[in-house]
Amino acid sequence: MALGPIIVGIIASGMGWRLAYAVFAVPCIVLGLLILRLPRKIYPAIADTGTAPKDTSRASLRPVLMPLVLILVSSVINGLVYRGVVTFLPSHLSLSVRSDIAGLDPIMLGGSFTTVALLFGVAGQFMGGYLSDKRRRETLALISLGVSAPALLGVWFFGGAALLGAAAAFAFFHFISQPVFNALIADYCPDYWRGRMYGLYFFCAFGVGSFSASALGYVADAQGLKAVFLVCAILSVAAAVSLVPLLVRALRRNGRGVEGQSL
């Protein structure tokens, strides 16, 4: 994901943006053909452990319905922020720093700096997964979204190197939230419904979130490109606020969000 912007920037700056789509279509076709060659039955049989059968009724969702709704609402808002930032950050960076670095194509420059910023997300994802095993996940989710908001304000306000630093900070804390949210779904969802709940979660995060590209496009046309990141900062605050009831609920549950985890 991080390397995508710089690869597209290199192709688009030299040979046009249409060719970038064609280049990325090739590995998709190759991978699709390779997947067709996989054996039909690849899952081992599940051994009978003698445990009690899983509760497959909808009633098993009722005790955790509100926490799951809060997680999904936050994931929708967070998805809007992510898709908006990824869509408009290359253009914003190219316009903001091209005056400082002469002689480079602005498209390639924007893609390069976006890749640099998103590489911090690699560390963020690792950190999020590591901390999820050691700290309360509700707290981690709230912190990651809460810190993303001022980082986005920095993307909106700053220019030059400070702008790149703010974008890197956003990528780091935003990607912390990804493994944390995955773990939260597993924490609250009954086993039988977990697969479908993950499908609904990713639909909310990426499916509904994909509409932000067009919605924030209107903001960019009406108020300018920088305004997109101000709106994203406000949305990030909303995503964090929607998780406050989840954290309060976890704190009331014997002082622990998940058994064996501390604040």
* Domain segments of the chain as ranges: 61-252
Query: Is the CB of residue 197 less than 8 Å from the CB of residue 185?
Result: yes
Helix axes 194-202, 160-188, angle to 10 degrees: 160
Q: CA–CA separation, 88 vs 173, rounded Å?
A: 18
Query: Is the CB of residue 138 less than 8 Å from the CB of residue 257?
Result: yes
Report pLDDT for 76: 92
Query: Is the CB of residue 203 less than 8 Å from the CB of residue 129?
Result: no
Residue 135 phi/psi, 5° resolution? -130, 165
61-252 folds as Growth Hormone; Chain: A; (1.20.1250)
Question: How confident is the model over 30-41, as pLDDT tens digits?
Answer: 999 999 888 876
Report pLDDT for 263: 47
- pTM of whole model > 0.85? no
Q: CA–CA separation, 160 vs 214, rounded Å?
A: 27
Question: How confident is the model over 202-218, as pLDDT tens digits?
Answer: 998 888 888 888 899 99
Percent of the chain having pLDDT more than 90? Answer: 50
Handedness of CA 185, 238, 170, 138 (dihedral sign): negative
Task: Give the mean pLDDT of the chain.
Answer: 85
Does the structure show a pLDDT above 60 at 43? no
